[in-house]
């Protein structure tokens, strides 16, 4: 599910096509009729559902339509790849424990839609991106993986670097989920060891990643 340009959706699609992510993408759903993700998905032959978010009585009514659309595709897992809407309990309850969200900051810091600009304006020296399991509370679910990005240059340069790391950590988190290696103890995500041999990469493109990215050997 994506609301804008769709570069993270493309990163997920490419990870599937290259055999790095054991998943099947059933549909890309967007709430914007002019979202860039539409063309990206269609370029790869992925079905697209466009459900405009304007004109509904409330968030729950809209989310009910989204859930109905997703059920047509027998979806079992949701990847929020730049979904710029707060989910209602209607949606979260329908896919409880099966929704992964990408957030452009090191949670629990800088929650919300303007996280990159907020971190930059706050003057932090390091920010980054996180993938977490979704709960009813905004940007508060258990964190699966994070990448720490130094704050250098302009806010646009920072945003570009965060996006580059997002394209690495989101497919990785989804792969761990697909392998059944993610469990939650309280608020902490426990990642089970890999079954086969993997190369671990905890530092790339000048950024620290934890847990380390994995490449099959």
Supply the residues annotated as catalytic. 103
Name 191's bridge partners: 182
Question: For strand 198-204 and strand 78-80, is the pairing parallel, antiparallel, or unpaired?
Answer: unpaired
Residue for token pair 């929020």 = 80
Cis? peptide before 108, omega within 30° of 0: yes
Q: Is 90 in a helix, a strand, or coil?
A: helix
Q: Are 213 and 164 in contact (CB under 8 A)?
A: no
Residue for token pair 């932090």 = 124
Q: Are 13 and 46 in contact (CB under 8 A)?
A: yes
Q: What is the DSSP string of 142-199?
A: PEEEEEEEE--S-HHHHHHHHHHHHHHHHHHHHHHHHTT-EEEETTEEEEPPPSS-EE
φ, ψ (nearest 5 deg) of residue 27: -165, 150
CA 207 – CA 217 distance, rounded (Å): 23
């Amino acid at each position: 599910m994506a609301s804008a340009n769709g570069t993270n959706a493309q990163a997920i699609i490419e990870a599937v096509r290259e055999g790095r992510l054991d998943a099947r993408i059933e549909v890309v759903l967007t709430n914007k009729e002019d979202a860039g993700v539409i063309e990206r998905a269609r370029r790869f032959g992925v079905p697209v559902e466009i459900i405009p978010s304007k004109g509904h009585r409330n968030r729950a009514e809209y989310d009910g339509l989204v859930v109905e659309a997703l059920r047509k595709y027998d979806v079992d897992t949701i990847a929020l790849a730049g979904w710029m809407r707060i989910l209602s309990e209607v949606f979260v309850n329908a896919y409880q424990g099966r929704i992964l969200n990408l957030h452009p900051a090191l949670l629990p810091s800088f929650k919300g839609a303007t996280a990159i600009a907020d971190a930059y304006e706050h003057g932090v020296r390091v920010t980054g991106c996180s993938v977490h399991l979704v709960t009813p509370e905004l940007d508060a679910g258990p964190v699966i993986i994070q990448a720490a990005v130094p704050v250098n240059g302009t806010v646009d340069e920072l945003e570009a670097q965060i996006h580059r790391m997002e394209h690495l950590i989101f497919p990785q988190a989804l792969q761990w989920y697909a392998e059944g290696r993610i469990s939650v103890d309280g608020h902490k995500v426990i990642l089970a060891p890999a079954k086969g041999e993997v190369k671990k990469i905890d530092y790339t493109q000048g950024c620290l990643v934890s847990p380390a990215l994995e490449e099959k050997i």
